[in-house]
Amino acid sequence: MRFRSPDAFTGSAQSYRLLPLRFRRLPWDRDRVFVSSLAGDWLMMRRDAFEQFVNHALDVHDPLLADLQARHLAMVDPQRSTFAPLLSQYRTRKSYLFGGPALHIFVVSLRCHHTCNYCQVSRQQTSATAFDLNADSARLAVERLFEWPSHELTIEFQGGEPLLNFDQVRVITEQIVARNVFEKRALRFVLASTLHDLTDMQLAFFQEHRFKLSTSLDGPEWLHNANRPRPERDSYRRTVEGMARGRRVLGDDAVSALTTLTRRSLEAPEAIIDEYRKLGLHSISLRPLSPYGFAAKTRERNGYSTAAYLAFYRQALEHLLAVNRSGYVMDETFASLLLSQLLGPFGHGYVDLRSPTGGGFGAVIYDYDGRVYPSDEARMLAAMGDTSFALGHVGQPVSDWLASPAMERLMAAGVAESLPTCSDCAYVPMCGADPIEHYARQGDAIGHRPSSDFCQRQMGMFDLLLQRYESADTTDRRVLESWAFGTAGSHQAEDTLDAAA
C-alpha cells in the first residue's frame, strides 16, 4: 500500500516531513512492515513504530528517524534540506533509460532439430529454409542497429537453432564489426544454441569475436531428454558435449546454461542443481514456463500454478545455499537480479524488471522475415497470429518504429508506477510492468494485477528473498550479497536470461 502524508509538499510546521513512500505488511510477520521510498530505498520496521512515524509522533532525535531520513523516507528540518539526494537516487535507479535499447536479438532461423513441447518459439523443420533470415533483411537490420544511440550493444543470435544458418551469423557479425570501426561502440556477441552442431571452424570464429554461448540444460539426463526430445534420445549427451567443446576453446565463463521448468521439473529441484554442479557450472537460471508458442498449447500437460513454482523455488534456494556453504560457488540468476534491486542503488536494465518497460526501450528483435519487435515475447505472439506489438520492418527507419501503434501501446501500459495496484505496491521501485506478458495471459496490456501471474510471482519472490535474507546467518547472508553484487563466480549475464536455445 502507498501512503502520502498530507503535508508532504505543503510546508507544514511539523518537526519532520514525510516523503513519498509505500508500505507492505510482511506476510511472515504481520506486526512489521516493509517501507520503500520513491527511489527504492527501504527498511523493515515494527508496525507500531511505522504508525508513530506517519502520525508525526516520533521524537526528532529518535535514531529511527535518522535512518528514515537516510533512506529518503523523511525530511528533517525542511528549511535546510532539499529533494536533491532523492532525485539523484531516482535518476540512478532509472539510468538504463538514457542510452536506448542495448540488447539486439537477430533471429537467423526458426529451424530446429528438437521437438520440445514447451517451446515458445514455434520452431520449424530443419529442411524449411524459407524460415531463414535472408541477406537483404540482415543488411538492413545492421543499418538499423547503428541508428540506436546506445554506446554498449549486445548482439544476440537466436533461433530456432542459429547454427543451422551459421553463414548468416558470420556475415552479420563481420558487417557489424566493420561498421564499428567508425562507430566505435562497445560490442558484445552472444549465441543461444543447443550447441549440438558446433564445428571447429565455428568455434574459431566465436573465439576471434569473443562470443558468449548460451544453451538450455534442463537438469539430469532423464529430465533433459524428456523435456527436450530428439528421435535419437541423445539431446542431453549432445548438449553436454557441445558445452565441453565450447568451454575448452572459449573458456569456462564463456558458456552458460539455463533451465526451463516443466511440471515434472518441479519434483527435482535438488537433482537439477546437482547436475549443474557436476558439470562445473557456477550459475543456474530456474525459469518458469512462458505462455507463448507450443508452450501455450501444452499448458494443461506441462503447466503449473505460481504457488507451485514458488514452493519449488523455496526448496531450490535452500539447496543452493547448502551447496554454497559446502564451498562450491553457485548463484541463481533471477534471485541475483532481484537481490541487486533490493540491495544496490542501480537498476540493471533486465527487461522484465524495468519501468518504463524494457520492451522497445531496452531490447529490439529482428525476426527471420525482417519484421521487428520490442521483445522476444512480442515476436512469439506474432508467430501465434497476433501482431499487436509489431514495430515495423527493417526497411523502415527507427523513427517509424518509435511512432508505431505498438510503441504507443507499450508506453500506455509500460510504466508500473502509474498502473492500478502497482502504483500502491511497495516493491514497484524494484519491479517492472511487462505489458506484453499481461496481454498474452489476460488479453489486456495493463491487465488485472491482483490476479496476474507476473505480479504474484514477483511479489512472492521478493517476499521469499527478503524473508530468507533477514533470517540468514552470516554465511548465508554473504552468499546472497555475493549474488546481488556479482561476486559469486561465473554470474550469468542478464541479457542471456531470455535466450531461447
**DSSP per-residue string spanning 363-411:** EEEE-TTSEEESSHHHHHHHHTT--TT--EETTS-HHHHHTSHHHHHHH
3-state secondary structure of 421: coil
The pLDDT score that the predictor gives to residue 490 is 39
The pLDDT score that the predictor gives to residue 9 is 40
Q: Find the range with the poorest average confidence among 13-17, 57-61, 240-244, 402-406.
A: 13-17
Q: How wide is the angle at C-alpha 74 spanned by C-alphas 73 and 80, nearest 5°?
A: 135
pLDDT-above-90 percentage for the chain: 72
Number of CB atoms found within 10 A of residue 275's CB: 23
Whether 155 contacts 123, CB under 8 Å:
no
Residues 6+ apart with CB under 8 A from 500: 119, 120, 121, 158, 159, 192, 376
The pLDDT score that the predictor gives to residue 272 is 98
Q: How many CA atoms lie within 13 A of 113 on its CB side?
A: 17
Average pLDDT over residues 248-271: 95
Express each pLDDT in 361-412 by its tens digit.
999 999 999 999 999 889 988 988 899 999 999 999 999 999 999 999 999 9
Express each pLDDT in 287-341 by its tens digit.
998 765 444 455 566 679 999 999 999 999 999 999 999 999 999 999 999 999 9
Amino acid found at 77: D
Average pLDDT over residues 222-243: 91
Torsion on CA atoms 458, 496, 335, 329, rounded to nearest 10: 170
What separation, in Å, do the N-terminal and C-terminal C-alpha atoms of the chain show? 39
Query: How do strand 363-366 and strand 371-373 relate by DSSP bridges?
Result: antiparallel
Q: Find the range with the poorest average confidence among 22-31, 353-362, 490-499.
A: 490-499
Listed in order, the ranges of the chain carrying CATH 3.20.20.70 are 99-392+487-496
- Report how far residue 182's alpha carbon sits from residue 482's, in angstroms, rounded to the nearest whole number: 38
Which range scores top for mean pLDDT: 186-200, 300-314, 340-354? 186-200
Provide CATH code, domain 99-392+487-496.
3.20.20.70
Q: Residue 479: pLDDT above 60?
A: yes
- Report how far residue 336's alpha carbon sits from residue 389's, in angstroms, rounded to the nearest whole number: 29
Give Cα 305 distance to the centre of its chain.
20
Average pLDDT over residues 203-217: 97
Average pLDDT of the chain to the nearest whole number:
89
Q: Residue 217: pLDDT above 90?
A: yes
Q: Find the range with the poorest average confidence among 75-89, 213-227, 321-335, 438-452.
A: 75-89
CA nearest to 265, candidates 286, 285, 237: 286
Beta-bridge partners for 75: 17
Whether 207 contacts 249, CB under 8 Å:
yes
CA distances from 363 to 239, 293, 377 (A): 28, 20, 11
Q: Residue 352: pLDDT above 90?
A: no
The pLDDT score that the predictor gives to residue 500 is 35
3-state secondary structure of 33: strand
Average pLDDT over residues 435-442: 90
More confident residue, 6 or 432: 432
Q: Residue 128: pLDDT above 70?
A: no
- The helix (run of H) or strand (run of E) holding residue 475 is helix 474-484
Question: What cell was used for 296?
Answer: 501455450
Whole-structure pTM value: 0.89
Whether 89 contacts 40, CB under 8 Å:
yes
Is the preceding peptide bond at 160 cis, omega within 30 degrees of 0? yes
Amino acid found at 300: E
What is the total residue count of the chain?
501
The label of the residue with cell 557441445 reads 242
The pLDDT score that the predictor gives to residue 84 is 86
- The helix (run of H) or strand (run of E) holding residue 319 is helix 306-325
The pLDDT score that the predictor gives to residue 283 is 95
Question: What cell was used for 464?
Answer: 521469499
